[in-house]
Amino acid sequence: MTVRKKKKTAAKKGGSAKRAPRKVFSFGGGKAHGKADMREILGGKGANLAEMSRLGIPVPSGFTISTEVCAEYNRLGGRLPATVKKDVLKALSAVEGIMGATFGDAKNPLLVSVRSGSRVSMPGMMDTVLNLGLNDETVQGLADRVDERFAYDSYRRFVQMYGDVVLEVDHDRFESRLEEAKRERGVSLDTELDGQALRELVAEFIEIVEEHTGQPFPQDPREQLWGAVGAVFRSWENNRARTYRRLNDIPEQWGTAVNVQAMVFGNMGDDCATGVAFTRNPSTGEKAFYGEYLKNAQGEDVVAGTRTPQPINAASRTRDTQHLPTLEGEMPKAYRELVRIYKKLEKHYRDMQDVEFTIQSGVLWMLQTRNGKRTTQAAVRIAVEMAQERLITRAEAVQRVDASSLDQLLHPMLDRDAERHLIARGLPASPGAAVGSAVFSADRAEEKAKAGEKVVLVRIETSPEDIHGMDAAEGILTARGGMTSHAAVVARGMGKSCVAGCGDLQIDYGSARMVVGDAVVEEGDIITLDGGTGEVMLGKVDTVTPELGGAFSDLMRWADRIRKIRVRTNADTPQDAKVAREFGAEGIGLCRTEHMFFEPNRILAMREMILASSVGEREAALAKLLPMQRGDFLGIFRAMEGFPVTIRLLDPPLHEFLPRGDDEIRLIAESLGSNVAVVRAKAESLHESNPMLGHRGCRLGISYPEIYAMQVRAIAEAASEAVELGLKVKPEIMIPLVANPGELKRLRTLAEDTIQEVREATGVSRLRLAIGTMIEVPRAALTADAIAEHADFFSFGTNDLTQMAYGLSRDDAGNFLVDYVSTGILEDDPFVTIDVEGIGRLVERAVELGRKVRPGLKLGICGEHGGDPRSVKFFARAGLDYVSCSPYRVPLARLAAAQAAIEMAEEPARRSKKR
């Protein structure tokens, strides 16, 4: 019924069949066209302004021009479609109605802000213009209604922002003029400039603009509005925004929305303020309302670092702000209102919020809310505590933490007990330790990091232009700015250590050095940051692995209960195995044996073995290696007690073990009782022009069965010894590089015979050893049914599988893959994230073929991909039994596996909902 009715009205009104989709969305006065889940077309800021409005939270009214218009604007070569302009003017008059003021009116002018806002927040990337609608006439109206100082302070800000953002006048020209004006009048803060001074400053600012553009400063508010809207749309294309998108994988085509919103004023006097706050501590995750504000200020003043912001409450105090009054103390009514609203927002969004607010004459207005960026540590704690508070479910908590960020928590922190030469202290803006040589510009940071040096970027304050340097640095140190400054926010997002607002630093970019007390730090000097305490140390401070208790272990426990796929580790030593078990590994998926041969006393025996000219000589050399290998394996079995341990037989090309230089050759000749010329000739004959496709993996076992026999014997003997010691062992022998079922058949027989010999010799008849293969040659994947006849398990070696099936050299692709990623041909490096469409299909095919022949076939993956969250999700879907990754990535894989299980469980539900 209702549908028909609507159709009629539409037909009556427009006459045309379909109404064009809405492109301008109003909000304010407790209503809104948009809502929170419309961020794709309204951008995050616009969607949340609409949502807050609907919730009855005080938001100055305004409207959002949708992200679709951004593409249209840029397609039309910088022009707004006429229909959009019409809708904008209509929405503007609605705002005028609500606010009781008129845009451009000389007596009672409505002023607006023009704010960018894309689908995901891009801090500081896009530009905002405040106080738009001011001109020589309306400023007088404002002065008459309030006072001259306020009117010209607003006008000064407007001309500066409009000049900078829309007309592209160098921002520093305004700043240095402002500094000069303060100096001339002997004041240090912009709030101390009186109306007269500001009036003069405005005139000079306008002059600066006109000199730059050669045109009069636009006085027509509508012209100003179109100018600012266009500039926001254009800013989507600027370099800072591009860099940020590239670093954060944000698609070009998303575009930004534009929000036009009635101004509220935090700069109208001492009962006014502007501030930012987090509903929980974004650095530690502690459940404490946390924020900063400035009195008699506007917009970005809080984060710009021009004045030291005050803490909103006692919990937000830092060492430097100990003595300052709080918002709670100074404006208790507005503070109480803020508390009421933040609680409502957190409950409504069910996540930690990052809010912006302004207080005009004691009345609170909310200007933004969004899910707050946080450190990994905070993410874990907040997710777990919100689940405990029953605000979210445990499954949601598991999904809240970005798996790939988890290993940040496991990396070393500064050793509490290590000696440290403290030179300064700033704000603990983003935790973790950073050690590196000091550099004072983003370009130098990038340069040195590219050359392999670890650097700490030191800046007076950072701006979006510094992003590439921040990305290259281990940590960031700034002299100015608070916990919500650019440096702090960006560093937390990147998971890097940051000490901000370290006022004692005297940084001189010109000579690339800084002075702190009586210490002088030149470019290249090593410094250490502790982002958890805000300490800055001269020289390198020792680090330790952090303890992982509390929230982290809760989250991991929940993840373990949810996930279906097991997580093992790649470990070659008992030490690695121990670390991995502490991180929750459930066995070893790949124990490489080649590393065991590189110790000085072993490599000699290894070389003798390779260069021996008879089976007898080879066996003699192998006999020396046998006890060493047995000892290695016993150590690993002990460390992994009760869990499976997959040991891969010798894999690398022989030439990796060949002697280099005359001295090494002579040594071997002596030890073999042979002569130098013979050994050299033999070594040369083993040279290969394409070793990765050459004599390696099981091909060695085919040519030199004694090698594999020795290794299998060492494994079997170690396992027997372990059994006799009362240990539970589950050894798995893995044969690498199989391409043909015949290889596996032959080597399996060899292994079984050897194991039988050991059984008879030791009398340990209970010995169970699984024998399986790696699937890493494409041919093996395609003939997996035939191969499965001889295998108890498959383990996908996705590094080699990618190399061979893609025809991409693992060792050389780094040089050109970047071009593929930057041109968009590839979304990811296929050695980092599995290429689902290509290599993934080989995996799926092999799983299907293998299980057809042997339903109980155990399946795992042991390539680097086992530690990549997106790849882990693919393997979970493909039905593997486990993934195996490096020890530090085990927790990350556990979490990603749980997230995969949740996603898979949700899918059928979602599908049926759609129907």
Q: Which residues bind ligand ADP (CB under 6 A)?
A: 60, 113, 115, 124, 128, 130, 261-264, 274, 299-300, 356, 358, 367-368
Residue 113 binding target from Mg ion, ligand ADP, none, CB below 5 to 8 Å by type: ligand ADP
Name the one range near Mg ion by CB under 5 A: 281-289, 316-324, 745-753, 800-808.
800-808
- Residue 233 sits at the vertex; the CA angle it makes with 243 and 131, to the nearest 5 degrees, is 110
Query: Site residues for Mg ion, window 159-218 (CB under 5 A)?
Result: none
Q: Which does 115 bind (CB under 5 to 8 A by kind): Mg ion, ligand ADP, none?
A: ligand ADP
Q: Whole-number minimum distance, CB 304 to Mg ion, in Å?
A: 13
The SS3 call for residue 266 is coil
Name residue 674's amino acid: S
Residue list 744-783, contact with Mg ion (CB under 5 A):
776
800 makes contact, choosing from ligand ADP, Mg ion, none, with CB < 5 to 8 Å by partner type, with Mg ion
- Minimum distance between the CB of residue 349 and ligand ADP, rounded to whole angstroms? 17
Cα torsion 546, 547, 549, 555: sign: positive
Active site members: 486, 862
Closest Cα partner for 153 from 142, 163, 145? 142
Tell me, by CB under 5 A, how many residues bind Mg ion: 5
The nearest distance, CB 140 to ligand ADP, in angstroms, is 21
Binder of residue 787, out of Mg ion, ligand ADP, none (CB less than 5 to 8 A by kind):
none
**Separation CA 79–CA 268 (nearest Å):** 36
Find the part of the chain contacting Mg ion (CB under 5 A) among 13-21, 59-67, 739-747, 796-804: 796-804
Distance, CA of 597 to CA of 606 (rounded, Å):
7
- Please name the residues in contact with 412: beta carbons below 8 A apart, sequence gap of 6 or more: 433, 543, 544, 545, 546
To ligand ADP, the closest distance from the beta carbon of 466 in angstroms equals 16
Q: Which residues of 464-488 are buried (b: 16+ CB within 10 A; e: fewer)?
A: bebbbbbbbbbbbbbbbbbbbbbbb
By CB atoms closer than 10 A (0-12, 13-18, 19+), residue 745 is middle
Q: In Å, what is the CA distance from 804 to each residue of 798, 807, 860?
A: 10, 5, 19
The residue (of 446 and 776) whose beta carbon lies closer to Mg ion is 776
Helix or strand (DSSP H, E) at 433: strand 433-439
Residues 6+ apart with CB under 8 A from 589: 568, 569, 570, 646, 795, 860, 861, 862, 866, 882, 883, 884, 885
Pairing of strands 413-414, 363-371: unpaired
Distance CA 728, CA 641 (A): 6
Nearer to Mg ion, 326 or 795 (CB): 795
Nearer to ligand ADP, 488 or 649 (CB): 488
Q: What is the CA radius of gyration of the chain?
A: 33
Which one of ligand ADP, Mg ion, none is in contact with 358 (Cβ closer than 5 to 8 A by kind)?
Answer: ligand ADP
What is the spatial order of strands in the sheet that 519-522 belongs to? 506-508, 513-516, 519-522
Q: Please report how close the Cβ of residue 60 comes to ligand ADP at its closest, in angstroms.
A: 5
**Alpha-carbon distance values, 164 to 273, 302, 650 (Å):** 24, 19, 64
CB of 374 to ligand ADP, least distance (A): 17
Quick note: the x/- pattern for Mg ion over 322-361, rule CB under 5 A, is ----------------------------------x-----
Binding residue for Mg ion, selected from 800, 835, 864, 868, defined by CB under 5 A: 800
x/- binding map, residues 429-468, to Mg ion, per CB under 5 A?
----------------------------------------
Report how far residue 542's alpha carbon sits from residue 7's, in angstroms, rounded to the nearest whole number.
Answer: 72
Q: Which stretch binds Mg ion (CB under 5 A): 101-109, 298-306, 399-407, 798-806?
A: 798-806
- Judged by beta carbon, residue 299 or residue 532, the one nearer Mg ion is 299
Please state, as a whole number, how many other Cβ atoms lie within 10 Å of the Cβ of residue 908.
Answer: 9
Query: Within a 13 Å sphere around the CA of 458, how many CA atoms are in the beta-carbon half?
Result: 33
CB 371 to Mg ion: min, Å = 13
Q: Which of 117, 291, 797, 830 binds Mg ion (CB under 5 A)?
A: 797
Residue 396 neighbours by CB under 8 Å, 6+ apart: 350, 383, 387
Amino acid 609 reads M
Please pick, from the candidates 267, 298, 313, 368, the single residue that binds Mg ion as defined by CB under 5 A. 368
Q: Among ligand ADP, Mg ion, none, what does residue 164 contact (CB within 5–8 Å per kind)?
A: none
Closest CB to ligand ADP among residues 368, 528: 368
**Residue 797, binding choice from ligand ADP, Mg ion, none, Cβ under 5 to 8 Å by partner class:** Mg ion
Choose from Mg ion, ligand ADP, none: what does 263 bind? Cβ within 5-8 Å by kind.
ligand ADP
Span near Mg ion by CB under 5 A; candidates 205-213, 566-574, 791-799, 832-840: 791-799
Shortest Å, Cβ 352 to ligand ADP: 17
Minimum distance from CB of 847 to ligand ADP (Å)?
47
The distance of closest approach from Cβ of residue 128 to ligand ADP in the complex, given in angstroms and rounded to an integer, is 4
Q: Which residue has the tokens 């893995």?
A: 734
How far is the C-alpha of 37 from the C-alpha of 41, rounded, in Å? 9
How far apart are the C-alpha atoms of 73 and 80, rounded to whole Å?
A: 5
Cβ distance to ligand ADP smaller for residue 115 or 199: 115
264 vs 737, beta carbon nearer ligand ADP: 264
Reduce the DSSP state of residue 211 to 3 states and report it: helix
> Is residue 653 a contact point for Mg ion (CB under 5 A)?
no
Nearer to Mg ion, 554 or 864 (CB): 864
Nearer to Mg ion, 440 or 597 (CB): 597
In whole angstroms, give the CA distance from residue 499 to residue 528: 10
Residue with Cβ nearer ligand ADP (59 or 716) = 59
Please state the closest distance from residue 126 (CB atom) to ligand ADP, in A. Answer: 6
Candidates 830, 849, 855; CA nearest to 840 is 830
330 binds, among ligand ADP, Mg ion, none (CB under 5 to 8 A by kind): none
Q: What, of ligand ADP, Mg ion, none, does residue 326 touch, CB below 5 to 8 Å by kind?
A: none
513-516 and 519-522 beta bridge pairing: antiparallel
Nearest Cα neighbor of 95 from 84, 79, 109, 116 is 109
Q: Give 263 or 639: the residue with its C-beta nearer to ligand ADP.
A: 263
Nearest alpha carbon to residue 102 among 58, 141, 150: 141
Residues in contact with Mg ion by CB under 5 A are 356, 368, 776, 797, 800
